[in-house]
Amino acid sequence: MADQPSGTGHPAGNAPAPNAPAPNAPAPKPTVRANGSSGKARYPAKYSALSLFTHGLRGRDWPRMWRRHEMRPSYDVVIIGAGVHGLATAYYLAANWGVTNVAVLDKGYLGGGGSGRNTAIVRANYLTPEGVRFYDRSVKLYENLAADLNFNVMYSQRGHLTLAHNDSSLRTMRWRAEVNKLEGVDSEVIGPDEIKELVPYMDTSENTRYPILGALYHPPGGIIRHDAVNWGYARGADIRGVHIHQETEVVGIDVEAGKVTGVQTSRGRIATPVVVNCTAGWASLISDMAGVKMPIITHPLQAAVTEPVKVFLNAVVVSGTLHVYVSQTDRGELVFGASTDPYASYSTRGSLEFTEELAGHILELMPSISKMRVLRQWAGLCDITPDFSPIMGVTPVEGFLADVGWGTYGFKAGPVAGESMAELIATGVTPELIASFDLARFAEGRLVGEKGAAAVGH
Amino acid sequence: MILVSCPWCGPRNSSEFRYVGESKGRPDPNAATPEEWRRYLYVKSNPADWATETWYHRAGCRRFFAVERHTVTNEIRETRRPAAQLRLEGGGS
Ligand SMILES: Cc1cc2nc3c(=O)[nH]c(=O)nc-3n(C[C@H](O)[C@H](O)[C@H](O)COP(=O)(O)OP(=O)(O)OC[C@H]3O[C@@H](n4cnc5c(N)ncnc54)[C@H](O)[C@@H]3O)c2cc1C
Ligand SMILES: [Zn+2]
């Protein structure tokens, strides 16, 4: 009896989805544990230092962060994809607009796409005024997210450095700094001496292969705990009545006379007048089902993490020229990323050439970490658009909405995209903040070019 | 690393090549409307399936050729000279 696994999940754990029940699992029976306490716990839990303390004293289990529901035959809104975008859209629909008859469907588990695989960099130092305003709103929402969700998302605004190793990238950095300042975003170009002060372990000498000429320094940029963001939004949406259906694959979208009427899933049909496509790397497959063509190419993006060491790196460092970026987590691991794999693919296999290239380039920046060992590497799918800006809002099919084109940079946009999409769904009016990211811009030649700020630095 | 077989040079590491993209017919630049031209530039079919693509042997013979690749498994079932090249050489179709 003592070692019997309890049926309830714990709010923090290493498994990707701590509360994802096995398919068709029977409802968990309350179990009696060694200390005699019942596994049943009241939902929802309020997280605080006091509740942590009393739970510790009583040996009580925490309730699940989100529940499992029967699928209804119809919903007011169906969101495809339980990544940060789908979950944030559901959360803001319920929290800001009181729209709660909402389902979020995912063919796999919650956060199993890019939202659980990214390197969690959050920043607003983009290149276009439209982009800077949009991502800055997300930074603001992230700053208050832990309080909003009653969930620690571990947002650390430790500063973000984009290195320039040649004149042309230094020019782009100056351009970005000026656009940022005009939009009220803290960014400035700094020289090698200041860089050395911020990152003492970086080789800023002049006799390297690609000497560092300067950097765009963006103090509010930083990293966040991506799983916590996904789980926090899921929990917040669930508390307000949203249904999250994992292991529910969308296989078709019903369109009649130019309007969405429902979705076909692996668990049956759902009638709905509104479908939101939040499927990132799979976005064009879903929009094909509705007959909407998307200018998207899916590329894998890889990342890697080392064994943990004492904290020595306090900023996020990106080098476009060397195709590499690095940050250190609170646990001490170095997290590395690079550019996307060089050909379109839906495969999430890692490759040796990625790690080889990455290691070579990172050592040009920080030769002293040559003895550190890589623990693991992984890949996720990225939906790349021609201008490196997202595709948001209405499509030619009424009721079929897009929140896609997030490429290698969409995690940071989760809050602002969710907030904006929720407003669009609730009011029927496209918010000003996302108006220039519409699908029609490609046919009309109004691209929002962000390549200079988004190709390597995610 | 996937292995790509150049029709001229034989099998080489994919890092020797540049992936150009899905092959598709180009509209006549003089006749196409701006909308048609932009659709040609931007919209791809992005299949999770077999795809016909153009690759370029950058670190080799520097020629373009056609590749049949499955985008989920990355298996390559065929590489061949592009139709235009075959016409130039007076062979094939
Ligand atoms: C290695 C890596 C590093 C990255 N680093 C950063 C970074 O530092 N900063 C940043 O801002 N961004 C980063 N990104 C990008 C970011 O991860 C994504 O843009 C973002 O997570 C997209 O979120 P999403 O919710 O739109 O999609 P996802 O989280 O990908 O979720 C899409 C979901 O749709 C589901 N789905 C697909 N098809 C179907 C179907 N037919 N039926 C039902 N469900 C379906 C999938 O299972 C998946 O869970 C990185 C990405 C990767 C891969
Ligand atoms: Zn060749």
Burial label for A34, CB within 10 Å (0-12, 13-18, 19+), is: exposed
- Is the residue at B93 inside a domain? no
ipTM of the complex: 0.92
Say how many Å lie between the first and final Cα of chain B, rounded.
Answer: 32
Domain that holds residue B10: 3-88
Query: Model confidence at A42, in pLDDT bands (50, 70, 90)?
Result: confident
Per-residue pLDDT of chain B (93 residues; tens, 9 = 90+): 899 999 999 999 999 999 999 998 889 999 999 999 999 999 999 999 999 999 999 999 999 999 999 999 999 999 999 877 666 666 544
CA distance A189 to A174: 6
Query: Cα distance from A344 to chain B (closest Cα, Å)?
Result: 7
Contact A345 B42 (CB under 8 A): no
User: What CATH number corresponds to the domain at position B72?
Assistant: 3.30.2270.10
Cis peptide bond prior to A129, omega within 30° of 0: no
Tell me what pLDDT residue B83 has. 75
Q: What is the mean pLDDT of residues A295-313?
A: 97
Answer whether B23 touches A (CB < 8 Å): no
pLDDT surpasses 50 at A361: yes
- In A, residues 312-371, which contact B (CB 8 Å cutoff)? 342-347, 349, 351-353
Q: What is the mean pLDDT of residues A120-142?
A: 98
- Is the residue at A424 inside a domain? yes
- Is the residue at A175 inside a domain? yes
Answer whether B19 touches A (CB < 8 Å): yes
pLDDT surpasses 60 at A22: no
Q: Any idea what DSSP says for residue B33?
A: -
Q: Any idea what DSSP says for residue A394?
A: E
- Is the residue at B70 inside a domain? yes
User: What is the chain A residue with the closest CA to B37?
Assistant: A443
Tell me what pLDDT residue B86 has. 67
- Is the residue at A9 inside a domain? no
CA distance A151 to A69: 23
Tell me what pLDDT residue B17 has. 98
Q: What is the mean pLDDT of residues A113-140?
A: 98
Contact A347 B71 (CB under 8 A): yes
Counted domains in chain B: 1
Domain that holds residue A425: 75-458
Answer whether B51 touches A (CB < 8 Å): yes
Tell me what pLDDT residue A59 has. 85
CA distance A360 to A444: 43
Lowest model confidence (mean pLDDT) among A40-54, A109-123, A286-300, A304-318: A40-54
Return the bridge partners of B13, or none: B3
Tell me what pLDDT residue A146 has. 97
- Is the residue at B58 inside a domain? yes
CA distance A127 to A389: 11
Mean pLDDT of chain B: 91
Tell me what pLDDT residue A304 has. 97
Query: Model confidence at A20, in pLDDT bands (50, 70, 90)?
Result: very low
Q: Which is higher by pLDDT, A456 or A34?
A: A456
- Is the residue at A140 inside a domain? yes
List the single residue in B42, B48, B72 with the smallest CB-CB distance to A295. Answer: B42
Q: Any idea what DSSP says for residue A117?
A: T
Counted domains in chain A: 1
**Residues A161-191 pLDDT 10s:** 999 999 999 999 999 999 999 999 999 999 9
- Is the residue at A55 inside a domain? no
